[in-house]
């Protein structure tokens, strides 16, 4: 099978480093030579222009630069070719670090200590053991399971919820619509790592947040969202924080990004904001993996980490 060209179609960041690394083995272009360019065999994309891929006659597969693939499904002219999602050890490590960092900060009362430091207050509040705190992870894919494993090793009780049953040793798992409320009622710190699909859009709303367990060793329930911004309703989170439904929140993703300067989340005293930085795609790790997959595919091997089009992730 003849090697064709790679179309690198990205918006929101400069593609130069990706182009350099992918060009080590294949010719890479940023635009096709016309709407029906026959030389393009693979597309590496992040929020590509709508209908850009629709008429490329020899396109064999699409590779997502980011962990999410909702940006690909947003394309109304998406061709019927395999879609490969990112699964990489360093991306998993970054996300695990973020989740554990934020869980520990909430568990060890980081917000309270920062407030006390500003006021020069020397006071040691009671500290509960990790085993008294239940961390609930929404989304038990590669990222969720890796984070759950580390949290278990630290002594936390861990729950997991997913669309379909995903058993994991040491984790109390729940699934589907029937399992959502029981999962929430058993959770003190809610960690959201779900993919964005039509079924999950807006799932983190006021009604869901009200079901979290509030009588716990933390003095209230906590939200951590490092999944996708449109999983949540920003206004509902503010409402929940203001009326005490939520004690605190750590948010890495938002309905609109960059987060508008007018958003009350920026200055909310109970919110920790990061700029969609929990797990940044590193081309040094991901580009070689994509090239290896392309070579293997051309040898007749199956592509790995394929997106289930029906499920949307």
Query: What DSSP designation does 141 have?
Result: S
Residue 228 annotated as catalytic: yes
Q: Are 45 and 9 in contact (CB under 8 A)?
A: yes
Q: Which tokens go with 304?
A: 């790995």
Element (H or E) spanning 179, and its range?
Answer: helix 176-185
Please give the Cα distance from 80 to 71 (Å, whole number). Answer: 16
CA 125 to chain centre: 33
Q: Are 170 and 205 in contact (CB under 8 A)?
A: no
Terminal alpha carbon distance of the chain: 29
Closest CA to 95 of 144, 166, 139: 144
Could you give the 3-state DSSP secondary structure of residue 302?
coil
Q: Which of 228, 285, 292, 309 is catalytic?
A: 228
Q: Which of 60, 166, 276, 285 is catalytic?
A: 276
Please give the Cα distance from 195 to 310 (Å, whole number). Answer: 13
Please give the Cα distance from 142 to 149 (Å, whole number). Answer: 11
Residue 276 annotated as catalytic: yes
Region class of 50: left (phi > 0), else alpha (psi between -120 and 50), else beta: beta
Catalytic site residues? 228, 276
């Amino acid at each position: 099978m003849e090697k064709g060209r790679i179309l690198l179609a990205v918006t929101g960041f400069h593609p130069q480093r990706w182009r350099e690394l992918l060009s080590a083995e294949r010719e890479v272009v940023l635009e096709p030579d016309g709407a029906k360019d026959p030389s393009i065999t693979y597309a590496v994309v992040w929020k590509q222009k709508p209908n850009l891929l629709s008429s490329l006659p020899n396109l064999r597969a699409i590779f997502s630069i980011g962990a999410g693939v909702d940006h690909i499904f947003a394309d109304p002219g998406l061709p019927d070719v395999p879609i490969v999602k990112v699964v990489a050890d360093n991306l998993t490590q970054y996300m695990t670090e973020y989740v554990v960092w934020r869980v520990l900060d909430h568990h060890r009362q980081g917000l309270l200590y920062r407030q006390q430091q500003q006021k020069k207050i020397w006071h040691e509040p009671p500290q509960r053991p990790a085993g008294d705190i239940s961390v609930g992870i929404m989304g038990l894919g590669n990222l969720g399971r890796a984070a759950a494993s580390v949290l278990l090793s630290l002594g936390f009780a861990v729950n997991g919820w997913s669309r379909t049953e995903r058993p994991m040793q040491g984790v109390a798992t729940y699934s589907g619509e029937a399992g959502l409320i029981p999962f929430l009622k058993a959770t003190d710190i809610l960690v959201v790592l779900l993919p964005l699909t039509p079924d999950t859009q807006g799932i983190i709303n006021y009604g869901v947040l009200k079901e979290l367990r509030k009588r716990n060793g933390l003095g209230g329930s906590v939200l951590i969202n490092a999944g996708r911004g449109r999983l949540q309703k920003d206004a509902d989170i503010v409402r929940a924080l203001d009326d005490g439904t939520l004690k605190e929140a750590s948010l890495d993703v938002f309905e609109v990004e960059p987060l508008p300067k007018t958003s009350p989340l920026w200055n909310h005293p109970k919110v920790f904001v990061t700029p969609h930085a929990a797990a940044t795609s590193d081309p040094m790790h991901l580009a070689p993996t994509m090239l290896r997959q392309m070579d293997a595919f051309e040898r007749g091997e199956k592509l790995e980490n394929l997106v289930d089009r029906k499920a949307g992730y």
